[in-house]
Amino acid sequence: MKKTPILLFALGLCLGVNASAQKFPGLALTPPMGWNSWNTFAANINEALIKETADAMIANGMRDAGYIYIVIDDCWESKQRDAKGNLVPDPVKFPNGLKAVGDYLHSKGFKFGIHSCAGAKTCAGFPGGQGHEYQDALSYASWGIDFLKYDWCDHGTADARETYKIMRDALYTAGRPVVFSLCEWGSNKPWEWAADVGHMWRTTGDIYDSYDGRKGWESGWKRNLDLQYTLVESNGPDGIGKYAGPGHWNDPDMLEVGNDGLTFGESRAHFSLWCIVAAPLIAGNDVRHMKPEYRDMMTNKDVLAIDQDALGKQGFRALAEPGNSIEIWVKELSNGEWAVCALNTSMTVADLTVHWNRLWTIQGLFQVTDVWAKKSVGDTSKPLTARVDSHDVLLCRLTPVKK
C-alpha cells in the first residue's frame, strides 16, 4: 500500500512526459504533396525563384491538384549564425527574410517548408541545428514554417532516434504545427521507431534523374523503389510498407518526374509507382517551364487518387518475372478497390500480360480501368495484355463487381 503514491507519481510522470513529447497530431493524413528546390536548383535558390514557382503552380493547376508544400532545401542560410546564435537567411538570396517568403506563399494558398540538419552542419556546409533545436524551432515558427525537412549530415556520434526526438519536441514546444520530415536516408531503420517522431522519413540515399543508374551516393528511382520492398526481407511480402500509414509515411525521396535524365515513360512509371507505394509526392522539376504532357501527368486526378487514398496503405511488389520483363506492384485502396501497376523492365517496347489470378492478394471479380488511358478494359476474368514502352507502366484501377 505504501508504494501506491510513488507508483502513481511515477505513472503521472510518464504520462506527463508522453503528453508533452509528441509530434503534431492530425497532419499528413495522406502523403504530403508539394515541391522542393533541391533536385533541380541545389544552391541556386532565391526569393524570386520561390515566388515564381508558387505562381507557376497556381497557373498550371498543381496547387489545386494538392501540391501544397513549397520547400526550400539546403543553401538558404548564411554561413554563420548571428551574435545571439540565431539562423540567418542569406541576405542576397532572401533580402526580405523568410517571413516575407512565408507570407507570400500563405497568401497564395500554399504551406511553407524549409530544410535544416540534425548535425552541426548541413550537407552543403551551412549551420545545422545541433544544440540549437529550441532556438531554431522558434525562428521557424516566427517565419511561418509548416514543414521541416531535417537532414543527417555531420551528426558525429549522435543517436538518430534521440536526436530527431529533440527536434520533434522543440517544434511542438514552439507551438506552430509543422510536418516533420526525417531525412536520415534509412540508415537507422526509421520505419521501426519514427512513427511517433515524424510524419515521414526517408528510406534511401539520394535520388537522381535516372531509371536505375548509380552515381556515387545517388541512385535512379528504380533502386529506391526496390528498397521499399527489399530493405528488410523478413518484414514479409509488403517489405517496409507495413510501417506506413496516415500520419507516418515511408519516403523513397522526391520526384525526378519531368527532369532530363528520364524518358517520358520513365517519368510516368516513376510517378505511378510512387503513388502505388503511397510516397510523399514532392516535385523536383522546374515547374515554371513544364511541358504540357508533364503538367497533365502530375495533375492527373485519377492517378493522384491512388497515392492519396484515405486507407493509407503502402503498395508492394506482388510479382517479378525478369524473364518476361515484367514486375507487378499492387496497392489496396478503400472500398475493396485495388491499384495494379505493371512495369516493363526491359530496354524495348513489350507486350505485357497481367494474369490476375496470379496476384494472390487480390481475390474476386473486378472491373478494370486503364487509369492513364482513362478507359475500361474489361474485367479480371481473363488476362489483360497491353503494349508498354521500355520502363513505362500500365496502371489499372480494379473495382469489385457487385454480386
Binding of residue 392 to ligand GLA (CB under 6 A): no
Binding of residue 221 to ligand GLA (CB under 6 A): no
Q: Which stretch binds ligand GLA (CB under 6 A): 1-9, 97-105, 119-127, 367-375?
A: 119-127
Residue count at the site for ligand GLA (CB under 6 A)? 10
C-alpha cell belonging to residue 144:
511561418
Nearest to 205 by CA among 231, 229, 187, 179: 187
Binding of residue 111 to ligand GLA (CB under 6 A): no
Judged by CB, which is closer to ligand GLA: 200, or 398?
A: 200
Binding of residue 73 to ligand GLA (CB under 6 A): yes
The rounded radius of gyration (Å) of the Cα atoms in the chain is 22
Active-site residue flag, 151: yes
Alpha carbons 25 and 167: distance in angstroms, whole number: 15
- CA torsion sign for 90, 92, 97, 100 is negative
Judged by CB, which is closer to ligand GLA: 77, or 238?
A: 77
Task: Kindly tell me the burial class for residue 239, based on how many C-beta atoms sit within 10 Å of its own C-beta (0-12, 13-18, 19 or more).
Answer: buried
Task: Kindly tell me the burial class for residue 220, based on how many C-beta atoms sit within 10 Å of its own C-beta (0-12, 13-18, 19 or more).
Answer: buried
CB of 72 to ligand GLA, least distance (A): 10
Binding of residue 251 to ligand GLA (CB under 6 A): no
Q: How many CA atoms lie within 13 A of 391 on its CB side?
A: 17
Element spanning 35, H or E: strand 33-36
End-to-end CA distance of the chain: 62
Binding of residue 256 to ligand GLA (CB under 6 A): no
Alpha carbons 173 and 311: distance in angstroms, whole number: 30
Judged by CB, which is closer to ligand GLA: 207, or 354?
A: 207
Helix residue spans in 145-291 (DSSP H): 160-174, 221-230, 264-276
* Residues from 183 through 212 that contact ligand GLA (CB under 6 A): 183, 206
Q: Which stretch binds ligand GLA (CB under 6 A): 78-86, 117-125, 165-173, 331-339?
A: 117-125
Selected from 77, 133, 136, 151, the binder of ligand GLA by CB under 6 A is: 151
SS3 readout for 102-122: HHHHHHCCCEEEEEEECCCEC
Query: Annotated catalytic residue: which of 206, 209, 286, 307?
Result: 206
Binding of residue 150 to ligand GLA (CB under 6 A): no
Binding of residue 74 to ligand GLA (CB under 6 A): yes
Q: Which stretch binds ligand GLA (CB under 6 A): 61-69, 120-128, 299-307, 382-390?
A: 120-128
Active-site residue flag, 351: no
Q: Which residues are near ligand GLA by CB under 6 A? A: 38, 73-74, 115, 122-124, 151, 183, 206
The residues that are catalytic are 151, 206
